[in-house]
Amino acid sequence: MLIMRTKNVKIKIAIILFTGLISITQTAAGQANDSVLTLDARIKLGFTSNFKLKQEQLEAEKSRYQYREVISKSLPQINGFASMDDYFDIPVSMVSGDIFGHPGTMLPIRLGTRYNANIGIQAGQMIYHASYFATLKLFKKSCQISDLNFQRSKEELAYNVARMYIFILITNLQMELLDSNLIAIQKVYEYSKQHYTNGFVTKIDLDRVMVAV
């Protein structure tokens, strides 16, 4: 009965510790595996499954992209443009006939061409802009801070996973030791009970062994 109770307690504690380890690494659903994971594998799994760490990584990548975007504004800018208009129905204008030798009349004429095309290239280069360099410095600093935050979160996660992993291993060994001690003491109790029945030990001695159990 006592061995059975100890095993039940051991199972409950193991479940609690394993749940704590899962909450630290925040393993995604469906990734459970019956195989025993090493500490290195457990840490790597935490890196790929921890939502907070993923958020820190996305923030770091976002800062790097913003920094590159600011840098691109200082590079030579070349823009091309082209357009073409088709005036399939040129509007009619009325002009005085005096121009064409028909005084006193108004003549309809179409002014303009049906097709009109426009094409060109614009190029520019920023030489110096004080506010731009100040902005560039701020974005660079923000990028460095995001990288440091990501690295810090990664180290903290690895530390917490390793601490919980080692704690579970130590607790397992302690429970195994308690089980072996309990079996040994129960054997002593059975021997003492026989000796008590045969009159070799007193009731107090038997009670002391029972208390040890």
Domain boundaries, the chain: 2-74+128-186, 77-124
- Residue 141, pLDDT score: 92
Nearest to 161 by CA among 52, 51, 50, 59: 50
Whether 114 shows a pLDDT value over 80: the answer reads no
- Residue 4, pLDDT score: 47
pLDDT digits (tens, 9 = 90+) for 38-97: 888 889 888 888 898 999 989 999 999 988 888 888 888 888 888 887 777 777 777 777
CA distance 142 to 192: 74
What's the whole-model pTM score? Answer: 0.52
- Residue 28, pLDDT score: 40
- Residue 158, pLDDT score: 93
Measure CA 148 to chain center: 15
138-147's contacts with Cβ under 8 Å and 24+ in sequence apart are: 139/63, 139/66, 139/67, 139/70, 140/67, 142/63, 142/66, 142/67, 143/60, 143/63, 143/64, 143/66, 143/67, 145/63, 146/56, 146/59, 146/60, 146/62, 146/63, 146/64, 147/60, 147/63
Backbone dihedral region for residue 104 (phi beyond 0: left; psi -120 to 50: alpha; all else: beta): left
pLDDT digits (tens, 9 = 90+) for 174-213: 999 999 999 999 999 999 999 888 888 889 988 999 998 8
Measured from the Cβ of residue 63, the count of other Cβ atoms closer than 10 Å reads: 21
φ and ψ at residue 185, rounded to 5 degrees: -70, -35
Q: How confident is the model at residue 9 (pLDDT cuts 50, 70, 90)?
A: low
- Residue 1, pLDDT score: 47
Q: Which residues contact 180 (CB under 8 A, 6 or more apart)?
A: none
pLDDT digits (tens, 9 = 90+) for 134-165: 888 999 999 999 999 999 999 999 999 999 99
**Tokens linked to 211:** 């208390």
- Residue 93, pLDDT score: 74
β partners of residue 96: 106
